[in-house]
Chain A
Amino acid sequence: MTTSTSAPVTAPSTTAVAARTRGLRKEYGSTVAVDRVDLELPQGAVLGMLGPNGSGKTTTIRMLLGLVRPTEGEIELLGRRLPDGAEQVLPHVGALVEGPGFHPFLSGRENLVRCAAFEPLLPRKQIKQAVEEALDRVGLAQAAHRRYRGYSLGMKQRLGLAGALLVPRKLVVLDEPTNGLDPAGTREIRKIIAELHAAGSTVLVSSHLLSEVEATCTHVAVLHRGTVVAQGELTELLQAGGSALQVITPDVEKALSALRQAKISARPLGDGLRVELAGTSAPQVIETLVQGGARVFEATRWKTGLEELFARLTEAEEAERGMSAVDTLDGGSR
C-alpha cells in the first residue's frame, strides 16, 4: 500500500502491484522449469497459486524471492527490480518456502531468535518481543522451549510461519503452508491469512489444495507445465469458466439435435445433458429445448468449483496433446 507512492502517478493504468513478473523463464540444464510466466500480484490481494506438483510454483516463488536467478525475464517486487533491489525490498517480505527450515538442536524459540537476528527491520531490543508475539500468533508458545527436533510436522510448519511473521510484512509468501497440518491447524492458517489480508498485507499462497485456495484467496493463478494458464480474480475466473446449464431430461437425443441445430454446444451427462452457456443464455436454451420437443424436468445453473476449473485448465492441455481423437469426435458431434 505504501510501496511506491510514485508508481500510481506515473503508471495510472496499472493498479498497484506487489509483485509482477514478465516473461520469466528458468532452465536447469536442458529442462525448463518455468517458462513465459507473466504473473501479477495486486497489492492487498491474496493470490492462490495453483498447480500440480512440478508445475513450477516453487521455482517461481524462489525467483520472486531472489533465491534463484531467472534465465530470462524480469521480476518486480514491491516496486523494485530484482535481484538488484533485493536488499531494499526483501526485509518487507516474509516467506515460508519449501517447508520450514530450522536447526534441529535449537528450541523453537532459539531458532526464531536466530532468524530475528538477521531481520534488518527488527531492532535488537525488540527481538525478544517479536519472537514471543510470533510464537503466540501461530500457537506455539507452549512448545517454544522444546527442541525443534521433537516437533511434529504441524508444529514445524507453524514455526516456519512464525518466522515469516516476525516483522509486519508488506508481502507474505507461503509455499504450501498447510502441509502436514491437521484440519484445526489448516483453519488457523486460514485465519492468519485472513488477518494478514485484513491488515492490508499482500499474500501469495501456493497450494495444491484447491478448497484451501477457494476459501482464502481473492485471486488465483494456475500454473501448469511451467506456465501460467489462467490468472485473475477468483470470482471472475469462476464465472468466466463456469457458465453451464445442467438439464435433466429423458429425451436426450431430441434435446441434443435441437441444440445442435441452434448451434449450442452440449453433451450428455448423467440422466440429462450439460449445455455450455457460451454465446447463449439459460432462457434461450430452455426455449430451444422445449421447441425441439424435449421435456425439461429440471434446469440448474452449474456453478463451477475451483476444482473443476483447475481440472479443466490443466487437463485441457493434456487433451490437446494426447487426446486429440476425443476432440475431433467432439467437433464432429456438433
Chain B
Amino acid sequence: MITRQFGSEVRWMLRRPRTLIGLFGLVLVPIVISFGIWTAGEDEGGGPPGLGAILQGNGMVVPIFTLFLSLNLLLPLVASIWAADGLAGEAQHGTLRGLLVAPVSRVRLLFVKLFGLAAMSLFAVTLMAVVGIIAGTAFLGTDGMMTLSGTTLDTGEGLLRIALFVVLVTFQMVSIGAVALAVSAATEHPLVVQAATMTTIIVFQVLGQFSSLDWLHPFLITTGFPGLIDVMRDPVPLDQIWDSTLLAGCYLLIGTGLAAMRLITKDN
C-alpha cells in the first residue's frame, strides 16, 4: 500500500508542469556553467574563485561545482516549491481532505510527502550531476578528475566522488524541504511556504557573514554548505562533511517533528 502511495506521489509530482519547468531550469545550470568556462577559455586566471579555478579542462568537476553553487539558492527553492505543493498546495485545492478521508493517516501522509520530496530531490540532483558530467566532459574535456588538493583521480573514483556529493546535497535539500513541510502543514498558501523558506535561507546566509554573530553560526543549516566541498579534497576529510550532514539531520528531525505535530492537531 505504502509503495503504491509513494509511487502515486512521485508520479503526481512529475506530472506537474512546474516540476518539469523546474527540472529543466536546473539542468540548464551545468550546461551554462560548462559553456561559460569554455568560452572564458584560455584567459589567464579567469574563472570564479574556489572550485571554479580548477574547472578549466576538468569537466568532471562541473557537476560538483554546479551542485555546490545551486545548494545556496536554487536547490532550496526547488525543495521549498515541492514542500509547498505537498501540503499547503493540496490543502488549497481541497485535495488534502480527499486524502485524509480516503483515509491516509496523517503521519503516513507526512511520510508520503517526505518520501516524494526525497525521491524528487535525489532525482533532480542526480539529473543535474549527470548533465553536468556530460556537459563538462563535452565542453571542457576530461582526464579523470582533478581535486582541490592537486591530485588527479581516475574516472571511476571521480564518479564515486560525484555520487557521494549527490547524496550529501540531496540530504541537505531534503532537510530544508522538511522544514518547509512544517511551514506547509501550517498554511494553505503555497507561496507563503516558499517565501518563508527562501527568506530563512537567505537570512541565514547573511547572518553567516557577520563574524560578530559567530555564536549563532553553528545553528544555521547554511553554515554546513561550504564544508561539503571537502568532497573535492584528497584524501577526503570527513569531519566537516559529517558535521554538515548531522546539522542537516537535526533540521530534518525538527522539520519532520513540527510538521507531524501540526498535521496531527490540524483541523481540515
Contact between chain A and chain B defined by CB under 8 Å: yes
Interface size on B, residues (CB 8 A): 26
Interface hits, B1-49 → A, CB 8 Å: 1, 4-5, 7-8, 11-12, 15-17
CA distance A38 to B150 in the complex (A): 78
Which stretch in B71-79, B98-106, B122-130, B209-217 binds the other chain?
B98-106
Chain B, residue nearest A91 (CB): B103
Contact A102/B93 with A65-B101, A66-B100, A118-B99 known, Cβ cut-off 8 Å: yes
Q: Is A308 an interface residue (CB 8 A)?
A: no
Q: Give the number of residue pairs across the A-B interface with Cβ within 8 Å.
A: 74
B105 x A87 contact (CB < 8 A): yes
Residue from A68, A99, A118 with most neighbouring chain B CB atoms (10 Å): A118
Contacts of B94 in A (CB 8 A): 98-102
Residue from A90, A91, A98, A103 with most neighbouring chain B CB atoms (10 Å): A103
Contact A120/B102 with A97-B97, A102-B95, A110-B15 known, Cβ cut-off 8 Å: yes
CA distance A67 to B15 in the complex (A): 27
A114 to chain B, nearest CB (A): 6
Residue in contact with A68 in the complex, picked from B4, B12, B268, CB distance below 8 Å: B268
A332 to chain B, nearest CB (A): 48
CA distance A117 to B2 in the complex (A): 10
CA distance A120 to B8 in the complex (A): 13
Contacts of B7 in A (CB 8 A): 117
Interface extent on A, as a size class? 20 to 34
A25 to chain B, nearest CB (A): 14
Contact A67/B267 with A104-B93, A105-B15 known, Cβ cut-off 8 Å: yes
CA distance A124 to B5 in the complex (A): 11
B98 x A115 contact (CB < 8 A): yes
Contacts of B100 in A (CB 8 A): 65-67
Chain B, residue nearest A93 (CB): B101
Interface hits, A238-285 → B, CB 8 Å: none
Q: Is A163 an interface residue (CB 8 A)?
A: yes
B103 x A68 contact (CB < 8 A): no
Contacts of B12 in A (CB 8 A): 103, 106, 114
Residue in contact with A90 in the complex, picked from B103, B265, B268, CB distance below 8 Å: B103
Contacts of B15 in A (CB 8 A): 105-106, 110
Residue in contact with B5 in the complex, picked from A95, A104, A113, A117, CB distance below 8 Å: A117
Contacts of A106 in B (CB 8 A): 12, 15
A95 x B268 contact (CB < 8 A): no
